[in-house]
Chain A
Amino acid sequence: MSLIHPTSGSARIFGKDVAAHGPEIRRDMGYLPSEVYYYEGMKVIDLLKYSASFYDCDCTQRLHELSETMELEMNRRISDLSYGNKKKVGIVQGLLHSPKLLFLDEPTAGLDPLMQRKFFNLIREENARGVTVFFSSHILGEVQRLCTRVGIIREGRIVEISDIRTLQRNNYKKVRVTAERLNAASFDLPGVTNMQTDNGTVHFFFKGDINMVLQRIGEFQVADVTIEEPTLEEIFMHYYE
């Protein structure tokens, strides 16, 4: 965005250097900051038109489409809007020029669940058109639902970038078995961690060949068994532990 300047290194977007070609690059970029602040005295429609006027395209139709989807009241003043409504203005504002690259920073904060769903559909549509979407969020459930690749940043450094599916597959499994005569020693295997026994049920995390666990389970008269992939949240916590 060229809001701050690099202390070292360089970056390229669409094959252009971000420091030298900022305005050109930003033509195809949409940005939704996590905290949305706009000119307080303006009406929604005026702000959106102002925003649209920066781009070469005729965005009026797209503007109205989007605001209809997001149920935006066009004639209210920005200062009268609630946080969620401001966020909606931000979403429309970020999408109205049909960008090729989208940066969304905490886009769902303040939106009610219905709106969130509409918004996710919107993002999926954009994505299907070939738009690359960067989606930053603290709510990992929505990242898991929406994104294909995930990057985890810890203390300013990227510690992991990978496909969400592979991340989940290559990570440990959550196993829960309920059976008679079960105790912690029953699953004394390499790769088992976090063993907990609770009234005939054992929970544990397992990383390794799942067949070994299945064989052990087969030795018991099992009442109930679940083997799950961990949620993104659990994976994330794992990186911070």
Chain B
Amino acid sequence: MSSTIYRHEFRTRLKSVVIWSLALTLLVVFFFAIFPVFADQAALMNEFLARYPRELRAAFGMDRMDLATVLGFYSFVFMFVQLCLAIQAANYGFGLVSIEESELTADFLLSKPVSRRQVLTSKLLAALTSLTITNLVVWVSSFVAISLFSEGRECPPLTLLLLLLSIVIFQLFFFSVGLVISLLVKRVRSVTPYALGLGFGTYVLSAFSGVFGDVTLELITPFKHLDAPYIVQHAAYNTPLVLLDIAVTLVALVASYWLYIRRDIPAVS
């Protein structure tokens, strides 16, 4: 661990963290601000939603959530939060070491007296700090939004806590999978398409698996591993899927170290 790299990495990502955090705060607060309307006219809303095709509702998980309850509505918001967090985490994961290569600064960094392991650990911790800041911002803005707009309606704190705690696992998954993919391919030219691909791709998979009720798809998308409607309905995680999620994350992290330490940095030019 090199505090020098850690500080540098953290500083370069600071702006992005602020922007993501702001965007997520706005998303949570404004989205949740329409909750009172939903709750007041719950019957009307549910009837209105029932007119949509069943598949569409399934794709958004709306068939399994009651938008008239605080957590039902919050889990609807939470899915969009998850999508943003997925893209952010995947972005950091893909860019973590590949940016040094695409911007040709790897020569500079790796000719310094630090080992590859130290480089990766410092970068990893810096990125995780950034993700944790965003995570905390989501916690705070969720609490604020719920206390502002729930108007005294019932909100089981334990389930809310479960939802918010799932963010860490969720972020780590996208981060580590992004990282390992960036190390498996020869060269990542641009990070954003990869990150968007991974984020949206898994989201769409999860939506499809909602439409078809297909079990196999659930296994590969973390949107299903940590499905907000499921957590709210059962007030618990889907343990086997969460364990699978964590296992994939750990394997990806270990593989990333293994690959990065052995990686040949192509000569510039």
Q: Which residues of B (94-139) have their CB < 8 Å from a CB of A?
A: 103-108, 110-116, 118
Dominant SS at the A interface?
Answer: loop
A-B CB contacts (within 8 Å), total count: 65
Find B107's partner among A23, A27, A33 (CB 8 Å cutoff). Answer: A33
A25 to B265, CA, bound (A): 18
Q: Is B8 an interface residue when CB atoms closer than 8 A count as contact?
A: yes
Find B105's partner among A5, A38, A53, A54 (CB 8 Å cutoff). Answer: A38
A34 touches B103 (CB 8 A): no
Given A4-B265, A23-B113, A54 and B103 contact (CB-CB distance below 8 Å): no
A40 touches B103 (CB 8 A): yes
- Report the interface size for chain A: residues with CB under 8 A from the other chain: 27
A4 to B101, CA, bound (A): 13
Q: Which residues of A (40-65) have their CB < 8 Å from a CB of B?
A: 40-41, 50-51, 53-55
Which of B8, B104, B113 gathers most chain A CB within 10 Å?
B113
Given A3-B264, A35-B268, A37-B268, A23 and B104 contact (CB-CB distance below 8 Å): no
Q: Is A39 an interface residue when CB atoms closer than 8 A count as contact?
A: yes
Q: Which residues of B contact A54 (CB under 8 A)?
A: 2, 4, 112-114
Given A33-B107, A38-B108, A3 and B265 contact (CB-CB distance below 8 Å): yes
A25 to B104, CA, bound (A): 22
Q: Which residue of B lies closest to A25 (CB)?
A: B113
A169 to B267, CA, bound (A): 36
Q: Is B234 an interface residue when CB atoms closer than 8 A count as contact?
A: no
Q: Which residue of B lies closest to A53 (CB)?
A: B4
Q: Which residue of A lies closest to B107 (CB)?
A: A33
A-side residues, CB < 8 A to B, are: 1-5, 22-27, 29, 31, 33-35, 37-41, 50-51, 53-55, 93
